[in-house]
Structure 1
Amino acid sequence: MNDDVKPSPLARAGMYVLAALLGAIYGAVATIGHRQSVTVGDVVVPWGLVLALAGVLALLVGIRLVAGGRWVAAAAAAGVIGMVALLTLPGPGGSVLVAGDIVGTVWAVGPALIAVLVVAWPELPQRRATSAADA
């Protein structure tokens, strides 16, 4: 965000709520799809897990870059992590979406690790705009 224009407290609260909602929606969709895999020869490639983790990274980095701050990215991360945690619990019939194998463990822990990296990453210095006269 531009430092000259500060959003109102209501606008900031709306950004946090929207980011958390986007994170929760993505967390639900990715949790359902993280188990997809393809077998190539004797090797099982968990492409659903790879895409789900890449999507978490893209979502959080994108929100941090567009919204301009750690707190909005942290709200989105809370949405993703909260939904993954909720969908890790067994359903009413005892069925689970996140199994207790290596793929499920990586999916249960991976979004939190990605969130820590994205939120804790230091701010990059702003580059000064140059004009043709400066060159």
Structure 2
Amino acid sequence: MSAAGNRVVTVVVGAVIGIVYGAVATIGHRHELRIGDAVVPWGLAVAIVGVAALLVGMRLVIDRWSSAAAAAGVIAVVALLTLPGVGGTILIAGDIRGTVWAVTPAVVGVLVVAWPSLPPRRDRGVGAGAQHAVTGGADA
């Protein structure tokens, strides 16, 4: 397969992964833990950390385009599931938790995709090891 074909496949797979994760995280973002009067929205925290991990991981391992496609998939599903369903049910309520979930994946996606690429790392160990071997173990 050509390089362009590989890129298309990785972008499509990234979008599908984003769509699936966006749907699962949207369903799970409402989970909470009640300790007395305190409410811990652990579902929202896990959903946001998961989106960030998914996008950063794809950006680091694959490329910017697949990460952008995954972000677009997550954002599209969150936007779609914000609308009321056929029976009038909603998955993303209009409260603070729903608003945070509706906005945060887009913000995380923009930050991850727009972050500048880092220059490739140079292996400093090769040069130092070669110098050490040439000098017979004595540091120059």
Fold in common (TM above 0.5)? yes
Q: Pairwise CA RMSD of aligned residues?
A: 1.2
Residue 134 of structure 1 and its aligned partner are, at CA, apart by 4.9
- d(CA) in 2 for partners of 1:113, 1:9: 29
Structure 1 stretches of 4+ with a deviation exceeding 3 A read: none
Q: Percent identity among equivalent residues?
A: 61
Q: Could you say which residue in structure 2 is the equivalent of 1:74?
A: 68
- Residue number in structure 1 paired with 2:136: none
Residue number among 72, 94, 100 corresponding to 2:94 in the alignment: 100
User: Comparing both structures, which one devotes a greater share of its residues to helix?
Assistant: 2
**Per-residue deviation at 1:74?**
0.5
3-state DSSP of counterpart to 2:130? coil
Q: Give the match's secondary structure for 2:34.
A: strand
**What corresponds to 2:41 in structure 1?**
46
**Counterpart mapping for 1:1-135 below 5 A:** 8-67=3-62, 69-129=63-123, 130-131=125-126, 132-134=129-131
Structure 1, unmatched stretches of 5+, are 1-6
Deviations, residues 63-87 of structure 1 (Å, cap 9, x unaligned)? 00110x2211110100000011111
**Contiguous gaps of at least 5 residues in structure 2:** 133-140
Q: Highest Rg: 1 or 2?
A: 2
Q: Deviations over 1:4-42 (max 9, x none)?
A: xxx621111111100000000000000000000011222
Aligned residue pair count: 128
